[in-house]
Structure formats: C-alpha cells, structure tokens
Chains A and B, each alone.
Chain A
Amino acid sequence: MKKWLDERLQTNALLDSLFSHPVPKQSNFLDYLGFATLYVFISQAVTGILLATVYHPSATEAYQSIKILQSSGVGTFVRSLHSWGSNFMVILIVAHLLRVFYEAAYKRPRELTWVMGGLLFIATLGLAFTGYLLPWDQEGYWATTVGTAMAGYVPLIGDFLVRILRDGTQVTGATLTRFYSIHMLVLPLLILVAFLPHFFFVLRQGMASTDELAQARERGEDIETRSLPFWPNVAFRMVLLVLLAGVLLWTLSFVYPKGLGEAADPLNRNHYIPEPAWYFFGVYQLLKYFPGKLDIIALVGLPFIFFVVLFALPWLDRNPSRTPRKRPVALGIAVLVTVGLVFLTYQGYASVPKPLSNTAVTHPSFKNDVAPIFQSKCLSCHGTSGNYALDSYQNTLKKDINRGDPENSKLVQRLEGTDKPQMPLGQDPLSSAQIQSIKNWIKDGAKNN
C-alpha cells in the first residue's frame, strides 16, 4: 500500500520531510501548544457538527431544541464538550501566542506564520462570541446585546456597525440567523483558509526551536548527539500533550456540565442583569476605570491598538535577537499587557455577584454575610463613591443605621418598603432571608466583623 502510493505521489519523500527532521534534545512541551489547539479545534468541529444535527436556528425554536437536547445525558455531554472546548480554544491559542512571542519565533523568516496566527486568533474569538447567542437563553441574548452595543462606540460608523452585526436595530431572530451562518460557515472557512498556510509554513520552515540545529548541520557539524528524531520521540511527546488536553476537557465537561438558563426574553420582564463571557471580563472591568466620555478608549481605542500591534509586530520589532535577555523592551511590554489582562479579568470576575444564600444568618458577619448582599444587589447602582455608596463598612454606616434597632434603621425600612421608594429600585425586593440577615446584623450592633 505504502509502495503503491509512493509510486504515484512520491509520498515517501513527503513523509520523510514531515517526520524525520531532527529536533533539539531540550524540546519544550510549550512548543506543542499549537498542536494541542489543533486537537481542540477538531473536537469543536466534531461536536459542533453533532449539535448542528439537532439545533433549530430560529428565535422561536432554538431554545426548545437545546432544551430537548439537554434532556439526554449524551446530548448534555456533547454540548458541554463544545462549550468547554471554546474555553480551551481561547486559553490554548493565547498560551500558544505568548510562547511564540517569548521565543521570538515571529521574526524573520516566520512573519507570515505569525500573521496567519493572528487571523486564527481573531476567528476564534469571533466563534466564541457568535456561539454564545445560539442557545437563545437570557445569558446569550443579553451578552450579545451588550457585546454588539460596544461596536456603537466606534466613531462615525458606530451605529451602522451595530446594525450590520444585528441585522437591525435590536438583537432579533434575524441576528440569530446571521450569527448562526457566521458561526457555522464564515468563521470555520476563515480558520481553514488561515490554518492551511499557517501549518504549511511550519512544515516548510520547521519550528523556530530547530533553527540552531539546522544552522549547525549546514556548518557541517555533527548534530547526532544534540538532537532527537521528530519521529517517534518528539511526536510521542506531542501526542502526550494532546491526550492530557483531551482528558482535562472530557473530565471538566463530565464534572461541570453546561447548564441552560431561562429562555431569552427581549423585554427582560424578570430584570435579568447581563454579564459578559469570561474572556470579555477584561474589557468589562476596564470600562469601570474609564468613566463617561472616556469609555471610547476602553471600548475602541485600546482593542484597536492591540490588534494593530499584533499584526504589525514582526515589522515593528526590529531587534534581530531572539535571546530573551536581549529583548528587554518587547518582553517588558508583553509582561505588562499580560499581567494587566489577567488582573482585569480577575477583577471583572470577582465583581460579578455570587449567588446568595437563601437562609437567614442568625449572627451574621459584615464581611461574609452582609457585604455580599450589597455587592450583588446594590452596588451596580450605588457605586463606590459619593453619598449613596454601599461598598465599605464606613459608607454603609452613613445609611442611618440604628445599632441594635433594625426596625428604626432607614436602611431596613428602605429594603422592606415601609419607607418609599423601596430598594433596590426597579428590581425585585431582597428575599426575606436576606433582609433578616441584615436585621440580625444590626441587632448585634452592626459591627465591622
């Protein structure tokens, strides 16, 4: 069979070039992150096709079709794999990008590989964003409403951009159809078109980590002692990393299956408060540092600069050195941006209200029991400054709290509605258990405990 193919297609020479090149002995697992990303993408393609066989892409049927899918164990598992897989894709592709940056592998002669990688990165974010809407639940509907609204901050053409994204002024059934076709056809095609050259360039040029060996071989040195053959030694390690990613993906999907929230309600009668997907927490948090008219910096300016620098990097960075020590500026900036993004993402994540306990606490502590209630129910309006703030113990005490006498504390009266207007404004009142916890805390003397 092998001979038959080789006679017709000269496959042996091709396979030799793919599998027989030498790789340095200190081959690093981080150099295989791209391969792990490819595995997760294939998993996404398989689970995505399976989901497409049962999904109904229309505003009236999408939610119900996912609900039916969720009623079977295997269905839930496939959807969990796809949902967890999208997180894996984003994380692995960012890790791959950081590793390539650290190794300076984007420099000559691999500029085009880097640019194709940039396209793959954008397409992946696009897939994550468009996929969010498809189940047509509250989470996806409002995250998409807010996410597409961000495009409205682009100067001059902002409003038009939003209408293009939504195929109308609001997120409607037309938006769902648009996102579905982009998620299923446009972006996978873009990934294919960018991936083929990306992969071909790597095969043609070899990984950057093999350059030194190749040069040594050209000088006529004996590299036997310093190298491993790609096949089977290094290939085995690559497969090992993929297996590790696979086991992690399957375990997480099994232990933490993806749930399905309430059906999308474009009128939001139940006052659902939107929150972004975790990879947008960074921008979401950044918004809080750029108040008012400066929003545009966080929403448009910084992301724009980021992508321009990303694509122009091989030409912006003229330092020919690949040794980390000789690239202090490039690595310094990268560390700053990465730490900043991780910090913002964490801050954004921490500021999202956690589910509150539904039983009253008899002797509540301010820090553990009372402050979280304010955090999730009050802070979105009351903010962290000014006379209305409820973010700290000191600010909370300004709300006419009668230590030991909850009934005569204005805070409680406002929450119970005996003093109008009842808080929180425009949302459902706090549960009686939550109010009782606050009352118990005041009864105990409203201590900072």
Chain B
Amino acid sequence: MLNKKNPGTSRRRFLGLGISALGSIFGLSYVGLIGDFFNPPPLQARTLQEVGQVTDFPLHQPKLVSYKGAGIDEGVYVINFGPEGWLALDFHCTHLQCAVTWIDATQQFVCPCHGGIYDLKGNVLSGPPPKNLPMRQIKIQGESVFVGG
C-alpha cells in the first residue's frame, strides 16, 4: 500500500522482501547442489558384468565370483539350481555386514563376526542377522552368466 505520509516505507519493505527472497533462493540453491552431490547413485543402475560360462557353475555349489566395481573388486555368490534357475547372493551378512563364507561340509553360509548362519538360498537359519542375504541381479545369456546391479 502506498503511504502518503511516509512514501519510503513501502519501497524499503519491497526492497527488503526482494533481497531476502533472492538471498533465500540462492541459499537454497546451494543446499540443492549439496543434496545432489551427496545423493547416492540409484540402486541397480550399473550394467551387468560377465563372470563366466554356465558350465563353470556346478549344481548347488555356491561360487564366489568377482568383477571390477567402483575402484574395487566386487563379488557375489552365484548358485546354479539347474531347472529351478539361478541365484546371485550378496556375501555381506545382514547383521553388520561382515563377509560370510560358504561351508561345503554343512552346506551353510557362516559369518565369523557374530555367528550368523544362512542356508544355500541365503535364508537365515540362526544367529543375529535380521534379514536373509540380499539377492543381486543375475542373467543368463546363451552360455554366459552376467551379474551385478
């Protein structure tokens, strides 16, 4: 509103609001930039990688395969269930993510940290893990096995 007695107030108010608004937009833009940089990459965005031939994987025998990931060797357990299909299991225990090991003699995955035990399909059998071993993507193309995600 224009105030005749004190015509400067309205302009001052307008300028004040404008500068605060512009400043806020700039400030928020920086927050946006930070958010964008710290946002982790989306899940399963990476392309699958070839880790071997179908014949490399005997039936019901988990095999730890490795491939080049983001600056490190990544790995998954690949299990061939024959006509029932294939499974790629993450090897990090779901309790606190120590690496589990496949024990042939007992047919179990065992975690050395707090004694979590999983079966061949990654289901929790005993110990503290709250969830089954996560499944990763796996694809059979012709004779080649691809994993990742």
Residue B64 lies at the interface, judged by CB distance under 8 Å to chain A:
yes
Residue B143 lies at the interface, judged by CB distance under 8 Å to chain A:
no
Point out the residues of chain A lying under 8 angstroms from B66, CB to CB.
Answer: 267
Taken residue by residue from 40 to 74, chain B's Cβ proximity to chain A (1 for < 8 Å, 0 otherwise) reads as 11010000000000000000000010100111111
3 tightest Cβ-Cβ pairs between the two chains A and B: A173-B71, A421-B105, A426-B101
Cα separation A68 to B112 with both chains bound (whole Å): 32
Point out the residues of chain B lying under 8 angstroms from A164, CB to CB.
Answer: 38-40
Q: Using C-beta atoms within 8 Å of the partner chain, give the interface range for chain A.
A: 35 or more
| A-B CB contacts (within 8 Å), total count | 107
Give the interface SS of chain B, mostly helix, strand, loop or mixed: loop
* Cβ-defined contact, A60 with B71, below 8 A: yes
* Cβ-defined contact, A172 with B72, below 8 A: yes
Cα separation A7 to B113 with both chains bound (whole Å): 67
Q: A172's contact among B43, B70, B97, B98, by CB below 8 Å, is which? A: B70
Given A168-B40, A267-B64, A291-B128, are A176 and B71 neighbors across the interface (CB < 8 Å)? yes
Residue B110 lies at the interface, judged by CB distance under 8 Å to chain A:
yes
Give residues 130-188 of A contacting B (CB, 8 Å): 142, 145-146, 149-150, 160, 163-164, 166-170, 172-174, 176
Point out the residues of chain B lying under 8 angstroms from A170, CB to CB.
Answer: 69, 72, 74, 92
* Cβ-defined contact, B71 with A163, below 8 A: no
* Cβ-defined contact, B112 with A381, below 8 A: yes
Taken residue by residue from 259 to 287, chain A's Cβ proximity to chain B (1 for < 8 Å, 0 otherwise) reads as 00000111110010110000000000001
Closest B residue, CB atoms, query A161:
B40
Give the interface SS of chain A, mostly helix, strand, loop or mixed: loop
Q: How far is the CB of A156 from chain B (nearest CB, A)?
A: 15
Point out the residues of chain A lying under 8 angstroms from B128, CB to CB.
Answer: 291-292, 295
Cα separation A287 to B74 with both chains bound (whole Å): 28
> Which residue, A142, A167, A267, A273, has most C-beta atoms of chain B within 10 A?
A267
* Cβ-defined contact, A146 with B98, below 8 A: yes
Point out the residues of chain B lying under 8 angstroms from A380, CB to CB.
Answer: 112-115
Residue B103 lies at the interface, judged by CB distance under 8 Å to chain A:
yes
Q: A142's contact among B70, B75, B98, B105, by CB below 8 Å, is which? A: B98
Q: How far is the CB of A29 from chain B (nearest CB, A)?
A: 40
Q: A173's contact among B43, B72, B92, B112, by CB below 8 Å, is which? A: B72
Point out the residues of chain A lying under 8 angstroms from B71, CB to CB.
Answer: 58-60, 172-174, 176
Cα separation A287 to B64 with both chains bound (whole Å): 29
Give residues 8-60 of B contacting A (CB, 8 Å): 38-41, 43
Residue A382 lies at the interface, judged by CB distance under 8 Å to chain B:
yes
Point out the residues of chain A lying under 8 angstroms from B115, CB to CB.
Answer: 380-383
Closest B residue, CB atoms, query A269:
B64
* Cβ-defined contact, B130 with A293, below 8 A: yes
Taken residue by residue from 280 to 306, chain A's Cβ proximity to chain B (1 for < 8 Å, 0 otherwise) reads as 000000010001110100000000000
* Cβ-defined contact, A146 with B112, below 8 A: no
